């Protein structure tokens, strides 16, 4: 995700990483809930 070059402005900050991680965890939970509901 991060390119370690001197001219790269798209490096992830800690805050961005935390935000992305929280979103991914939430999506994972939603996916598990949807699968559980589908197999009931």
CB 11 within 8 A of CB 2: yes
Side-chain half-sphere CA neighbours of 5 within 13 A: 6
Supply the pTM of this predicted model: 0.58
* pLDDT on residue 16: 84
* pLDDT on residue 23: 93
The three-state secondary structure class of 3 is coil
The structure tokens listed for 7 are 């001219």
- The residue among 1 and 14 whose pLDDT is bigger is 14
* pLDDT on residue 15: 83
Residue 39 and residue 32: Cα distance in Å, rounded?
11
The model's pLDDT over 2-37, given as tens digits with 9 standing for 90+, comes to 555 555 556 667 888 888 999 999 999 999 999 999
């Amino acid at each position: 995700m991060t390119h370690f070059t001197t001219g790269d402005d798209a490096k992830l900050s800690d805050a961005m990483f935390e935000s992305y991680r929280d979103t991914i965890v939430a999506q994972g939970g939603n996916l598990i809930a949807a699968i559980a509901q589908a197999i009931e």
